[in-house]
Amino acid sequence: MSGENIFTGMVEEHDGDERWAFGTGFTEALAGVDTALPEGVDGGELAQYCQMLGDDALVQAQRLSQWVTDAPELEEEVALANIALDLIGQARLLLARAGQADGTGRDEDAFAYRREAAQFRNVRLAAAPRGDFARAIVTLLALSSWRLALMSRLSRSRDPVLAAIAAKAVNELTYHREYAVSWALRLGDGTEYSRERTAAAVAQVWPDTGELFATHPVEARLAELGVGVDPGPLRAEVHDVLVQVLTAATLDAPAAFPESVLAGRSGDHGPELAPLLQEMQEVARAHPEATW
């Protein structure tokens, strides 16, 4: 490698875009994708569906961001923040699609900052309390395993926009799950103390897992049309994954997920969501239209 800067060799062709010192050659997930609504799909319902999947990612990202400045090690802080940023990326695309689909043309910021807690459609687990590092890892393990199963199927959606977003998400989620698995193994099969705290985390997270497989009527109708994914049938697959990981981590996996009951998906949230959103929305609401 020649040149004075060690990053010279890391630079891709960037067509005169000089913003990037190194690490160029980015691709747009939605480049060249047809944004017209697929035939036979109600725009309002598609928008609701995009909000469900977008809010899952946005709220989980906000919760994960609370580890910044507070993780056990700097390296883990960056890792969790990275995962949060991946999820924010997914949320932006999904919420922007919601604004296209419902015809209001609202952008992702309008959805993120201008809705109240009751208008959010995320599953409760995404907003569940931060807890300790073990709980963060078990939550991430459950959510990423579930979302990966869901997005793998959604990548074959009849809506080309959803398919493209899901295809991009699959790679990201595969890494999120790998990260969670590697920590679950080390914490569970670590010391007596780390094992105890990880087992406690499984017990804290498990009650909220049932909702992941509850099918909202909108999900059912869009799945029927080949546009969305019914999460119900993912139950066995995701349970297999968690059993495999927890067993390898010398932890007891509960025999099954709890019964599936819609909660956050219909706007029925726990007390954690409102303060979490208040924190996220505070600056945007205090300084509307601000740019930086």
Partner 1 sequence: MSADDKPGPVRPEWPLYEVFVRGKRGLNHVHVGSLHAPDEQMALHNARNLYTRRNEGVSIWVVRAEDITASSPDEKDPFFEPSGDKVYRHPTFYPVPEDVPHI
Scanning 23-31, 152-160, 231-239, 251-259 for contacts with partner 1 by CB under 8 A, the matching segment is 23-31
Name the 3-class secondary structure at 230. Answer: coil
CA distance 242 to 245: 5
Selected from 4, 40, 193, 289, the binder of partner 1 by CB under 8 A is 193
Shortest Cβ distance from residue 202 to partner 1 (Å)?
Answer: 12
Binding mask 35-74 for partner 1 (x = CB under 8 A): -------------------------------------xxx
DSSP string covering 118-150: GG----HHHHS---SHHHHHHHHHHHHHHHHHH
Quick check: 132 binds partner 1 (CB under 8 A)? yes
CA distance 241 to 146: 9
Quick check: 22 binds partner 1 (CB under 8 A)? yes
Q: Report yes or no: 132 and 196 within 8 Å, Cβ to Cβ.
A: no
Scanning 92-100, 113-121, 176-184, 281-289 for contacts with partner 1 by CB under 8 A, the matching segment is 176-184
The dihedral of CA 193, 196, 199, 201: what is its sign? Answer: negative
Q: Is 34 left (phi over 0), alpha (psi -120 to 50) or beta?
A: beta
Query: Could you say which residues in the range 79-108 bind partner 1, by CB under 8 A?
Result: 79, 82
Quick check: 275 binds partner 1 (CB under 8 A)? no
With vertex at residue 73, the alpha carbon angle to CA 70 and CA 78, rounded to the nearest 5 degrees, is 80
Quick check: 270 binds partner 1 (CB under 8 A)? no
Interacting residues toward partner 1 by CB under 8 A: 1-2, 6-7, 9-12, 20, 22-26, 72-75, 78-79, 82, 129-132, 134, 178-179, 182, 186, 191, 193, 197, 200-201
